[in-house]
Structure 1
Amino acid sequence: MAPAARITSGAAEVRGRILRAVQGFADERFAPVRAVFEENLASGAELGASVCVNVGGRTVVDLWGGFADAARTRPWRRDTIVNVYSVTKTVMALTALLLADHGEIDLHAPVSRYWPEFAANGKDGVTVAHLLSHSSGLSGWERPISVTDLYDWEKATGLLAAQAPFWPPSTASGYHVLTHGYLVGEVVRRVTGRTPGTFFREEGATPLGADFHIGLPAAEDDRVAEMIPPDKDTPLFAEPTPLQANASGNPPFDVAVTGSRAWRGAEIPAAGGTGNARSVADVLAVLASGGRGLLSEAGARRALEVQVEGRDLVLGLDLRFGLGFAVSGGLMPNPNTLYWGGLGGSLAIVDLDAGVTFAYTPNRMAGGLADVRGLGLAMAMWESMALL
């Protein structure tokens, strides 16, 4: 066989092995989603990943494949889980909506009603809704902190309670990269007497049978996929403003940290959640399926209530923030759609008009903010449903 033919044959063999490694199922109607997922793995755009679609409370796509480690020694299995970064915020928001629906939190009440120390430095008018919508003015810590400080709940929340807002609250959003989870989580802790990860596990994950963790037990470490940094170190912001530099660089962060026991075990409710596409969809389908017994349909739809819109001071994008989620502003087929993604590519979409929940969780990270892998899968889903 000629060298070129051998190369072609070898490439086809590798591609075939990757395609055969895709496991799970996709209803016939959603074959385009499977095709895109397989192509991403075959092309090398993915190392390992999972994607899940739930329609009307029924799972219609549940696929996984590839590898859980850079050395390609561990196949991505059905129970493989991975750090989903900021998709964790959507789960934390759901806990706040649950408490609001049960009458334990007034989302438009001052945070200081539940967390008295928070009123310091002119924050007495900041509401829980401001925290959820990234408009509290606390997009980062004013004082320099380290990654190890993120593992110290009292220190992380205490510093935020003491500092002044960076801008007048409610006047604009400024993405709360890491602070979001501590702010919302401390309200949850003050109201329930339980840490946010414990409250979510007992009141959300366990009743739903969802394999999602905010604070992962050490016994689960063997199932966690390795996060693979981008091939090229692309900065999030070419010329960051002081606000952007603070939000994205305080503390300085290395992807390798997510593989440590300290990170996995800590409750970091803005970026440290561990799960897979199935578990994210299992949790967020509560919002698309009328509450599923956890909260009322009206309580679920509250997430759509836009609190602030316009140019986000940190991300530099035009966004409409509801209560814990971005709300579609013409970006998606249906107007009553919630969404958010995480650094590295994870993505969650909840379309309340169509009753659809979409989740995607990869372990190979793309550089910067322009990762379209998850969106490509979502577009295949919408095409399958004749929504595009």
Structure 2
Amino acid sequence: MDVHGTVAEGFEPVREAFARNFATLGERGAAVAVYRDGRRVVDLWGGTRDVDGTGPWERGTAQVVRSATKGVAAAVLLLLHQDGRLDLDAPVGHYWPEFKARGKERVLVRHVLNHRAGLPVLDRPLTPQEALDPSRGPDALAAQAPVWEPGTDHGYHALTYGWLVDELVRRVTGQGTGRWLAERISGPLGLDLWLGLPEAEAGRAGRVGRVEGPEPAGGLRARPKRSVSQAYQDPDSLTRRAFAAITPFPEQNDPAYRAAALPATNAVATADGLARFYAALIGGTTGTSRLFTPETVERARAEESAGPDRVLVVGTRFGLGYMLHGTASPFLAPGSFGHPGRGGALGFADPESGIAFGYVTNGFRKTVTADPRAQGLVRAVRGVLGA
């Protein structure tokens, strides 16, 4: 399988790791991009655009990135805070009065981002059609009682995170997260990154590849007495219920799904778009300024939640909207922050080294975090920096 693209001098091991993914790990189509101090040092792609083997992957091929979307959506809330429009320590009900029902008066905006809101499940899951309606998810969460005392523990809000974020953005700005992202981040920076794929992009032949459906959840690196795979098989577990907040999950290749804006799950991006997004957070790229102030970077990656995750079972670490480097989800170094997507995608930034990383794939796996293909690429980057 031919690998296309370029690497800067010294980053050849990343090309080798990328090729190994196809040779030994069953990669079908993927791309990886890496920036260092705002300069692109890795830009690789290979395989087929569609998981079923249709069409070659090209430099501009984009894919659904699943939960890597969460890191993109988090930036919107943090930028609203940075602009003085949103108080992270205010109750969610201050901006969204209907949300206060059923014991949620003390849920803070901060709890939405650090997965401590106690709202990872819906007592009545939404249908796919309901989930694509931007009002139905927030209405369901406004009527939902927390499953633990908000603020006292953490558990991954796999799907509900998106509705919580989106409704806060709407209440503060009058716009959905996808539109705000397009007007304030993706458009001005020229990123191939969308939350709600525009019709013009959807209509471009070969622009977005077809992805594989994910297997049941699994693949976390830590091995507790009860694995996430076992928990997922239990219909009464928070794990199963969290991932089943939409039942059945929408077909990810459906144009209607791609056109909707679900800030937990359905951003569409190229590897370069995802990497440049993280580069912009920490320092900007050639011709662009940084998005986050140094204070906001520290706020994003300061540990807010750590330890056994009530949904993912193993120990996880979260800042404000971002996963942090740890056993369950290794990034480049202890100061890195970002977000994986269930099945493979990964985006993160490491301010100390100036690295911003983006990986997208059409061959989803059962992993929630720590996909071996992405991890091989991360290890290669780490090795280059160590050398």
Q: TM-score, normalised by structure 1?
A: 0.89
- Of 327-336 and 210-219, deviating more is 327-336
Q: 1:296 & 1:332 partners in 2: Cα distance?
A: 22
Asked if 1:78 is matched to 2:77, the reply is no
For 1:136, the equivalent position in structure 2 comes to: 117
2:280 to 273, 276, 286: 286
- Of 335-344 and 233-242, deviating more is 233-242
Query: What secondary structure is seen at the aligned counterpart in 2 of 1:122?
Result: coil
Q: Structure 1, residues 292-344: CA drift from partner, whole Å, max 9, x if none? A: 34332212221012222111100012112110011224755632211321111
1:166 to 147, 163, 183: 147
Q: 1:234 & 1:275 partners in 2: Cα distance?
A: 23
For 2:240, the equivalent position in structure 1 comes to: 245
Q: Give, as a single letter, the amino acid of the residue that structure 2 aligns with 1:237.
A: S
Higher Cα Rg, which structure: 1
Q: Give, as a single letter, the amino acid of the residue that structure 1 aligns with 2:365.
A: A
For 2:159, the equivalent position in structure 1 comes to: 178
Greater per-residue helix proportion: 1
Q: 1:358 & 1:380 partners in 2: Cα distance?
A: 12
Asked if 1:306 is matched to 2:300, the reply is no
Q: Is the 8 A contact 1:137 1:166 kept in 2?
A: yes
Q: 2:331 & 2:68 partners in 1: Cα distance?
A: 18
Q: Structure 1, residues 65-105: CA drift from partner, whole Å, max 9, x if none? A: 11012342311111110000000000000111111111111
Q: 2:312 & 2:95 partners in 1: Cα distance?
A: 29
Q: Where in structure 2 are the equivalents of 1:218-257 lying within 5 Å?
A: 218-221=199-202, 222=205, 223-229=207-213, 237-239=229-231, 240=234, 242-254=237-249, 257=251
For 2:346, the equivalent position in structure 1 comes to: 347
In the superposition, relative to structure 1, how do residues 332 and 37 fare at CA in structure 2: closer, same or farther (>3 Å)? closer
For 1:381, the equivalent position in structure 2 comes to: 381
Q: 1:280 & 1:96 partners in 2: Cα distance?
A: 18
Q: Give, as a single letter, the amino acid of the residue that structure 1 aligns with 2:309.
A: D
Query: What secondary structure is seen at the aligned counterpart in 2 of 1:220?
Result: helix
Q: Is the 8 A contact 1:88 1:272 kept in 2?
A: yes
Q: Is the 8 A contact 2:125 2:247 kept in 1?
A: no
Q: Is the 8 A contact 2:308 2:314 kept in 1?
A: yes
Q: Give, as a single letter, the amino acid of the residue that structure 2 aligns with 1:226.
A: R
Q: Where in structure 2 are the equivalents of 1:75-114 lying within 5 Å?
A: 75-114=56-95
Q: Is the 8 A contact 2:306 2:317 kept in 1?
A: yes
- Of 335-344 and 102-111, deviating more is 335-344
Q: Is the 8 A contact 1:320 1:327 kept in 2?
A: yes
Deviation at 1:212, TM superposition (A): 0.4
Q: 2:113 & 2:66 partners in 1: Cα distance?
A: 17
2:323 to 311, 322, 326: 326
Q: Where in structure 2 are the equivalents of 1:147-162 lying within 5 Å?
A: 147-162=128-143
For 1:272, the equivalent position in structure 2 comes to: 266
Over aligned residues, Cα RMSD in angstroms? 1.9
Query: What secondary structure is seen at the aligned counterpart in 1 of 2:135?
Result: helix
- Of 332-341 and 187-196, deviating more is 332-341
Q: Is the 8 A contact 1:288 1:356 kept in 2?
A: no
For 2:225, the equivalent position in structure 1 comes to: none
In the superposition, relative to structure 1, how do residues 229 and 159 fare at CA in structure 2: closer, same or farther (>3 Å)? closer
Query: What secondary structure is seen at the aligned counterpart in 2 of 1:23?
Result: strand
Q: Where in structure 2 are the equivalents of 1:25-64 lying within 5 Å?
A: 25-43=6-24, 45-64=26-45
For 2:314, the equivalent position in structure 1 comes to: 317
Deviation at 1:254, TM superposition (A): 5.0
Q: Where in structure 2 are the equivalents of 1:110-129 lying within 5 Å?
A: 110-129=91-110
Q: Which runs of 5+ in 2 are unaligned?
A: 219-227
Deviation at 1:174, TM superposition (A): 1.0
Q: Give, as a single letter, the amino acid of the residue that structure 2 aligns with 1:349.
A: F
Deviation at 1:112, TM superposition (A): 1.1
Q: Is the 8 A contact 2:317 2:323 kept in 1?
A: yes
Q: 1:75 & 1:193 partners in 2: Cα distance?
A: 40
Q: 2:115 & 2:337 partners in 1: Cα distance?
A: 15
Q: 1:163 & 1:233 partners in 2: Cα distance?
A: 26
Query: What secondary structure is seen at the aligned counterpart in 1 of 2:154?
Result: coil
Q: Is the 8 A contact 1:287 1:352 kept in 2?
A: no
Q: Is the 8 A contact 2:337 2:350 kept in 1?
A: yes
Deviation at 1:177, TM superposition (A): 0.7
Q: TM-score, normalised by structure 2?
A: 0.90
Deviation at 1:252, TM superposition (A): 2.6
Query: What secondary structure is seen at the aligned counterpart in 2 of 1:28?
Result: coil
For 1:213, the equivalent position in structure 2 comes to: 194
Q: Is the 8 A contact 1:286 1:300 kept in 2?
A: no
2:253 to 259, 266, 289: 259
Query: What secondary structure is seen at the aligned counterpart in 2 of 1:385?
Result: helix
Q: Which runs of 5+ in 1 are unaligned?
A: 1-17
Query: What secondary structure is seen at the aligned counterpart in 1 of 2:101?
Result: helix
In the superposition, relative to structure 1, how do residues 65 and 273 fare at CA in structure 2: closer, same or farther (>3 Å)? same
